[in-house]
Structures are given as C-alpha cells and as structure tokens.
Amino acid sequence: MKTTIKTLFALTLGMALFSCDNSDDPQPVLPLEATLVEDLAAPNDVIDRQTGTILEERPFVYFSLEQNAQVSEAEDWDLAFKGTTIRVNAAKNVSAAIVTGIFDQINEVPASASFATDTDSELAIPTGGGNGWYNYNPQANTITPIPGRVILVKTSAGNYSKMEILSYYKGNPPMAEVDPFTTPSAHYTFRYVIQPNGTQNF
C-alpha cells in the first residue's frame, strides 16, 4: 500500500513538472480590470464673474494613466486637468479620441475612432458644453458628464486606454444633491482600463 502511494505521488509530480516545462501550453489571459480614480482635485482659475478677468491662475494637475498617479509636469504624464479642461501630452505623442458607447462593452478601439493631439489652436478633448465629455446646465450652473461618452487615450508609452468620467463634484454625489455654490467642483472621479501589451483590445 505504501508503494502504491509513492508511485502515484511520483507520477503526479512528474506530470506536474512536465506540464510546467511544456512551453507550448497556452498562458491564461487575465481580464483587464478598471481602475477607479476618485476626487482628483483640479480647480479652475479664480475668475471675476462680472468681468471675466482672471484673478488667480492655477496650475494644471498632471496624471499618468500608466502609473495611476498624479505626477509632475516634468514626468511622463498623459492627461492634465484644470476646471473642465483636459489636455493631452502632445510632447510625448499622447493622443485622444471621443467615442459614443457603453464603457463596459467597448472591447477594442473602434475603427472609426479619430485620434488627435493638442495643438496651439485646438484640444484633442474639446471643451464647452456638449462638445466633449460634459454638458453644462446654465439654469442650474452645473457640469454633468454626458452618458455614453468614452475617452480613448493612446498613452505616452504607446498603450491604449478607455476612460469614462463619472463625476465632476467632490464625493461623486447625485446631481440632485449638487449645490453649485457649496459643492466643491473640479474633483474628477473617473474609471479607466489600460491595455499594457500595446494592442487595441480591452
């Protein structure tokens, strides 16, 4: 009986070692997971609402999708935020496209996606209500992400990412609870998926 146990163990161990050494075995493909970024604070300039004069100019907040971290302007950032403006790092060949679709159902970069980078006269991610990622309600004076708008980004490392902005207000509150005079704005909550192998599949 003991001999049988040893034989079975040796056979099992041999099969395990053979399996490990077999380079032809397909490697499991793990599904990509979305990263959630909450309350990335990127306040706009302080502006006199009566005259439009900038009273205090504030810096952009730089973010690396590759590192999932706020970084300095001197580093390899992908996106820069200030107020409702989102810039891409043209110096590092970062580009972006806006597509319409359900975030979880966009499994690859659509062939129709038109990527662009920032220029002196135009941003890859347009600003203004209804032009890019948000709507502006002049009656309520609120900013709301447009449902179904997904931002695709080709990062500084050449990888593709899909991104959905979920909220412009601190704490991601329901819009019915947003008071434009007291609820801190320009606090981005968004989720994104990045494909690290350079392909266009998510």
Query: What is the model's pLDDT at position 24?
Result: 57
Reading across the β-sheet that carries 95-100, which strands appear in turn? 35-41, 185-195, 160-169, 149-154, 95-100
CB proximity list for 166: less than 8 A, separation 6 or greater: 145, 172, 189, 190, 191
Stated pTM of the model: 0.83
Query: What is the model's pLDDT at position 2?
Result: 37
Nearest to 159 by CA among 27, 81, 64, 37: 64
Query: What is the model's pLDDT at position 26?
Result: 57
Query: What is the model's pLDDT at position 196?
Result: 96
User: Could you report the average pLDDT of every consecutive run of 10 residues in the chain (202 residues)?
Assistant: 34 39 56 96 86 86 98 98 98 98 97 96 96 96 97 98 98 96 97 96 96
